Amino acid sequence: MSATAHLARFIATSSWTDVPDSVRHDAKRSLLNWLGCAIGGSNAPSVDLAIESLATFSGPAQATVINRGRRFDVATTAVVNGVASSVLDFDDTHLQTVIHPSVPVASATLALAEHLAVPGDVLLHAFTLGVEAACKVGNAVSPEHYAGGWHVTSTCGVIGAAAACARLLKLDEMQAACAIGMAASQSAGLSEMLGSPTRMFNMGHAARSGFMAAWYASKGITSSTRALEAPRGFGNAFTTRSDWSALTDTLGVTWEIAANAFKPYPCGIVVHPVIDGCLLLRERHAIAPGDIERVEVTVNPAVQVIMSNPEPADGMRSKVSAEHCIAVAMAQGAAGVQQFTDAVVHDPEVSGLRRRARLLCSDTMAKDAAAVCVVMKDGIRHEAFIEHAKGSAEVPLTDRELEDKFRSLVAHGRHGGDAGRIIDMVQGLETVTDAGALARA
């Protein structure tokens, strides 16, 4: 059976009872992390611009823009929530492909689920299938596809969004194949845009186009049913090498959502082991920031190349300043969304510590490892070695850490509601009778 047909059958015939308990739990973790990012990002200027741009063309109030008190049609809501949930760059990462699957998939799925008023388990199942679709397609075309200039989260995410929405719309195998086809033919996104707001819109549009593909298919519009593997199809157009057995051999056997990782800190990932070491030493030795002479960190040279910047101009740029990350970890004992604001960048204690941070490069240091040495004014040296950063495949965030991250994002988004109640809702999603309650929470 061809890759497209295989994926379509999986979408149309998967049973919730086929999804192992641990995978269901992983799906809830991904959904909670996504929801936190959407709440945390909901007041960003790019979200304001998205709402201002799209309100003019929105149809009926069918779905909720998270934490904004606005309701738009499903397609428009998918775009805005896609922008909001990606703007902090704090969302999940499927490490094998570098796809951030939840942004395109959940943004589409929750908007449609709310419109259809489906129960929580139906939402969770559709979301899971969507993440599998996006990441399995990604596996089949990686790494050449990303290397070719494609923003893989949006190019593969649109197929994931289509898969999830196809499930919510109860498409049969043939209709699901057409949804995949229309999504593949709307797949878009250049990685040249990664440094600009268009990055977020790439992902919002992937959510929208995936939803629309499934919707069109539900109305009887057809496409090629060989969109992935045909000579003029997705694989051949989008990459120099594709291996569809990576999809056909593993769909429903291994679960990509179980390999989804979550960032503990909303900054460049290469500096994460350094932050781990700083936080560890600060707590272990009850270090007072004023007693620090300097902080020396030994890191993979990539940290120096990508993130050395002792004087970031603003909050946005502090996310790619290794020195700023070290400074906030030592000064404030945290490196969450609140530590990357303009105000914190200009805080005297933080800027003082940035100037006392030293990056030492070592070719033998792994990318997810770091050695941290805090030299105190009295000459004492506190040292720690981090073998694998928190949030890596080896040291995934615990449920508790993920919940703390969620609470911090809810606070950052000035949500005003009870984060604990939303966490409970996600954890008990199978018993929620109307999944839209999640969007409105």
> In angstroms, what is the minimal distance from the CB of 428 to a copy of itself?
31
Nearer to a copy of itself, 150 or 340 (CB): 150
Residue 385 CB, nearest approach to a copy of itself (Å): 36
Q: In this complex, which beta carbon is closest to a copy of itself, that of residue 20 or of residue 59? A: 59
**Smallest distance from a copy of itself to CB 128, Å:** 26
Residues 177-236 that bind a copy of itself (CB under 8 A): 178, 181-182, 184-193, 195-198, 201-202, 205, 209, 212, 215-216, 219-224, 226-227, 230-234, 236
Q: Nearest Cα to 380, choosing from 297, 274, 285? A: 285
Residue 114 C-alpha from the chain's centroid: 21
- Can residue 22 be called a binding residue for a copy of itself (CB under 8 A)? no
Our CB check for a copy of itself shows the closer of 77 and 351 to be 77
Of 20, 59, 417, 420, the one binding a copy of itself (CB under 8 A) is: 59
Nearest-approach distance from CB 240 to a copy of itself, in angstroms: 9
- Return the residue of 17, 56, 364, 433 that touches a copy of itself, per CB under 8 A: 56
**CA–CA separation, 412 and 407 (whole Å):** 9
Distance CA 32, CA 43 (A): 18
Straight-line distance from the first to the last Cα atom of the chain, in angstroms, rounded to the nearest whole number: 43
What is the rounded CA–CA span in Å between residue 202 and residue 309? 28
Rule CB under 8 A: which of 236-255 touch a copy of itself? 236-237
Where in 128-167 is the site for a copy of itself (CB under 8 A)? 148-151
Distance, in Å, from the CA atom of 168 to the CA atom of 166, rounded to the nearest integer, reads: 6
Which amino acid is it at 100?
A: H
In the complex with a copy of itself, the residue whose CB is nearer, 30 or 242, is: 242
User: With contact defined as beta carbons under 8 Å apart, do 438 and 66 qualify?
Assistant: no
Stretch that binds a copy of itself, among 27-35, 58-66, 123-131, 252-260 (CB under 8 A): 58-66
Distance CA 124, CA 142 (A): 26
- Please say which residue, 49 or 376, places its beta carbon nearer to a copy of itself: 49
Using H for helix, E for strand and C for coil, what is the string for 335-388? CCHHHHCHHHHCCHHHHHHHHCEEEEECCCCCCCCEEEEEEECCCCEEEEEECC
DSSP state of 430: G
265: helix, coil or strand? coil
Interface residues toward a copy of itself, by CB under 8 A: 46, 49-50, 52-53, 56-60, 62, 73-76, 148-151, 178, 181-182, 184-193, 195-198, 201-202, 205, 209, 212, 215-216, 219-224, 226-227, 230-234, 236-237
